[in-house]
Structure 1
Amino acid sequence: MILWFTVAQVVVAVAAGSLCVVAGLTGRRPSDVTVGALAVVEALLIAQVVVAIIAPLAGNPPTGDLLEYWVYLVSAVLLPIGAVLWALMERSRWSTVILGVAALAIAIMLWRMQVIWTVQLA
């Protein structure tokens, strides 16, 4: 993984999560802004999949468990999809909060993936 890209993804995920949680707690239903924020997080996760495929070939192999890393990454990619589907089926203020919680969970998962990739020794 690339540190600056991971930090950028975490910042975007925390910003999107904070936006959605605040919007939900103020009573706003899912909108283009909140769903779009999660779409940006999803796009960055897709880019992370590409980076994870190319990085070992470019001489940046993981030092931790590769299976654990991929389970985190696949789960993180699926999480915004599930949250958006929930938000579109149940259009309430709480589904907007769920969008935010999903984005904040992704931020934590991204940092854990960085730790798996770089810090642990296999």
Structure 2
Amino acid sequence: MVDGLTTTIQTASLIMAVWSLISTLRGQPMVVPHLVGMAVLELLLIAQAVVSTTLLVGGARPAETATFVSYLATVVLIPPACAVWGFMERSRWGPAVIAFACLILPVMMVRLEQIWDPGLA
């Protein structure tokens, strides 16, 4: 796990959550800039997944490898799933779906770091 990348993911995710919550409160549907923001977040998550996978293949192993891999797969799948759901929901609740997903991601990233380095827990 790359700490700087994890922090960037958490920050980007929280910025997206605030932006989406503002859109929800204003009654605005999800628009293309929301999708662009989610795509940037997804690229950051894929980068973290590639780095983590490379470290796993290189021999670095967290204490709970299966749990780590399942969390890693989940964080990579959440943004596209919620972006599709949010885009299909053409009411004000589309951005709310994105906000919810973006509030979950930082927590999951903390958990990934805890699994990777049990001394952080």
Equivalent runs, 1:14-53 vs 2, <5 Å: 14-53=14-53
Matched positions, count: 120
TM-score scaled to structure 1, two decimals?
Answer: 0.88
Residue 91 of structure 2 is matched in structure 1 by 92
Q: Do the aligned residues in 2 keep the contact of 1:62 with 1:116 (CA within 8 Å)?
A: no
TM-score after normalising by structure 2: 0.89
Q: Structure 1 CA distance, aligned partners of 2:81 and 2:26?
A: 23
Unaligned runs of 5+ in 1: none
Structure 1: how far apart are the matches of 2:57 and 2:69? 16
Residue 57 of structure 1, CA deviation = 4.6
Structure 1 counterpart of 2:115, one-letter code: I
Q: 1:56 Cα deviation (Å)?
A: 3.4
What residue identity is the alignment partner of 2:118?
V
Q: Which residue of 2 aligns with 1:6?
A: 6
**Matched position secondary structure for 1:6:** helix
Q: CA RMSD in A?
A: 1.8
Runs of at least 4 residues off by over 3 Å: 56-59
Q: Which protein, 1 or 2, shows the higher relative CO under an 8 Å CA cutoff with sep ≥ 6?
A: 1
Task: Describe the superposition over 1:87-121 as per-residue Cα deviations: whole angstroms up to 9, x where unpaired.
Answer: 22221111111111111111111111011111259
- CA deviation map 1:15-58 (0-9, x unaligned): 11111112112111101222221111111111111111112355
Q: Percent identity?
A: 28
Pick closer, same or farther for the CA change 1:58–1:22 going to 2, 3 Å: same
**Gaps spanning 5+ residues in structure 2: where?**
none
